[in-house]
Structure 1
Amino acid sequence: MAVSPLPTITLQVPAKINPQIRVGPLQQDGYHDITLVYQAISLYDTLTISHNLDGPTIQVTGMDSDRVPHDERNLVIKAANMLAAHVGVEPQLHFELVKCIPSEAGLGGGSADAAAALIGCNILWKSNLTSSELMDLAAHIGEDVPFFIEGIMAIGLGHKKPLIKLETAGYKWIWVLGVPHQGLSTKAVFQEYDSILERTSTGEEEYLSRRQGCLDTPWGSCPPEELIDDLENDLELPSMQLLPDLRIALGAGSSAGALASLMSGSGSTCAFLAESEEHAKILKEEIQKNEVFREVMTASGPVRGVKVLETVS
């Protein structure tokens, strides 16, 4: 299928926070049974896609660009190649990715960028795939990728399982994000989690109880201050075992007066819940004094997923 010269498209995609993560044992398919809440937040990467006969190629600038692969290992390239194979085109594209989402931080930056690539390429190639079809493809790239297609809030049920979309009542969650100097490998965190499970009596029944609690929580229809006791992450303990400074980092938020402190994803970003924009400013100032963080920023949610900013013919 021949492709004529394409217009240029620019897209914006948010980061995510996980207000709760429940992790069960490793399954026979090599993946963990996992139940987690997603919330898209107002911290954005920007992806511009243009025609390039020698593509696919990518240029990465902005925050942590030196930590991001600049070749076919990048999830943007993987997403473009997967969609191209699916719809029968040559991925003759150049991507310019401007990072504002920290890398190796548990905020889903790489997955978000892949989702932006899927939506942008779908538009440029006039593939006319629906959001549902794009989500199905996205699940083959990474577990978090489908969420960013639409964003807002959802519950994930694990590898290649459909998301449960959450209705939201307009409540605003205000976060201060502290990014430690050292990131964490998702693979290493789950390996440490498995090691902890082997040394404890925690079993499938206990996980299923925690899982049901996650499913029953009114995440989108309740003010965030009423859900403070539900903000938990089963990956915090293994992450702190690998990165002891995380305990200090999470404590910094509590000492500064955060409503709640938790780690996002598999780390290492610490998310501190504020009661207002003004409270967030005060928290940020206090948390910035702690040398354990390399970046401190504010964001709010939930927000929508990938958004087209501009299309230039």
Structure 2
Amino acid sequence: MTSSPPLQITLQVPAKINPQLRVGPPRQDGYHDITLAYQAISLYDILTISQNPHGPTMNVSGMDSDRVPHDQRNLVIKAAALLGAHLGVKPHLHFELVKSIPSEAGLGGGSADAAAALVGCNILWDSKLSADELMTLGAHLGEDVPFFIIGMMAIGLGHKQPLIRLETSGYKWTWVLAVPRRGLSTKAVFQEFDKVSDIEKVYLNRRKECLETPWGTTSPESLLSALVNDLEVPSTKMLPDISLALQLGKTAGAQASLMCGSGSTCAFLARDGDHAKHLKNSIQKEGIFREVVIASGPVEGVKVL
């Protein structure tokens, strides 16, 4: 006897960091060539989806909820509409989103929430699409969305390109994340990046290095020199607080200091949990961040609670 699909479902979805992010020149379609390593980390948004004949409707609470749209502009509702159109189903649903992932912080919160919506609606509608099918749909919403469906570690190759899933061998990365008071627009950061000259000459070598790095099967301490973000320079020009934050991490004894995504969060690699607590306390004392949290990775992607 088969069970009926649930009337309500709750899911958690992690944030991400990019241990390496390499950017090439803009393409004819307006997107950039890009190669990046993904790692899902233990900082979670929670999404509850329930039936609502008057939906889609949405409520957002928690971290930065005042910065997040509660209507059709939100990627959660866009994801439900996309899957519904694919299946021929009307998204008569209510979404209750509780955020812990900061907004406009380079941690992928909006894309993560969209991935949770795809997975949750797939279950509620009993549509039985595979993870790969959901990832293909998710790529239409944003290039980070497919990663959150699988989590752990992967290599991304840009807009609508398939992810390269990476083997992981049990190594734990412990991070302290410090979020400046201001965020950055991804579009604006890329526009600033485009002012950099001759990037095409070095990008192919950088791409090759990212692809050949054993991200999931080597200790973090062995990969410190590989922790690089090509968007750090343009983001720092737009928001000098990032440079200050990265220097604070180094002074506090972080193994590495790295900007997340297109900014503005800064990630500091710790040796272990105790070292992370020390880093967090040292960084919090400066009083320049709106949030400082400890998270570790890699972790799995969207999970039903």
TM-score, normalised relative to structure 1: 0.95
Confirm or deny that 1:165 pairs with 2:165. Answer: yes
Count residues in correspondence: 302
User: Post-superposition, which runs of at least 4 consecutive aligned residues in structure 1 deviate over 4 A?
Assistant: none
Confirm or deny that 1:107 pairs with 2:103. Answer: no
Confirm or deny that 1:224 pairs with 2:217. Answer: no
Distance of 2:252 and 2:201 partners within structure 1: 37
Deviation of 1:203 after TM superposition, in Å, equals 3.5
Distance of 1:245 and 1:177 partners within structure 2: 14
Distance of 2:162 and 2:286 partners within structure 1: 40
Distance of 1:36 and 1:299 partners within structure 2: 20
Q: 2:236 aligns with which of 235, 240, 253?
A: 240
Deviation of 1:140 after TM superposition, in Å, equals 0.1
Aligned to 1:19: 19
- Name stretches of at least 5 consecutive residues in structure 2 with no aligned partner: none
2:119 partner letter: I
Aligned to 1:256: 252
CA contact (8 A) 1:6 1:51 kept: no
Aligned to 1:132: 132
Deviation of 1:205 after TM superposition, in Å, equals 2.8
| 1:88-237 mapped onto 2 (5 Å cutoff) | 88-195=88-195, 197=196, 200=197, 202-237=198-233
2:286 partner letter: N
1:206 partner letter: V
1:244 partner letter: P
CA contact (8 A) 1:47 1:117 kept: yes
Work out the percentage of aligned pairs sharing the same amino acid: 72
CA contact (8 A) 1:19 1:232 kept: yes
1:48 is paired with a residue whose SS is strand
Deviation of 1:289 after TM superposition, in Å, equals 1.1
Distance of 1:18 and 1:253 partners within structure 2: 17
Q: Closer, same or farther in 2 for the Cα pair 1:146/1:5, shift >3 Å?
A: closer
1:170 is paired with a residue whose SS is coil
Distance of 2:179 and 2:137 partners within structure 1: 30
Q: 2:265 aligns with which of 259, 264, 269?
A: 269
TM-score, normalised relative to structure 2: 0.98
Distance of 2:28 and 2:89 partners within structure 1: 35
Superposed CA offset, 1:37-81 (max 9, x none): 000000000000000011111100000000000100000000000
1:290 partner letter: E
Deviation of 1:5 after TM superposition, in Å, equals 9.7
1:94 partner letter: H
Superposed CA offset, 1:6-58 (max 9, x none): 61100000000100000000000110000000000000000000000111111
Aligned to 2:285: 289
Aligned to 1:48: 48
CA contact (8 A) 2:5 2:125 kept: no
Distance of 2:52 and 2:292 partners within structure 1: 37
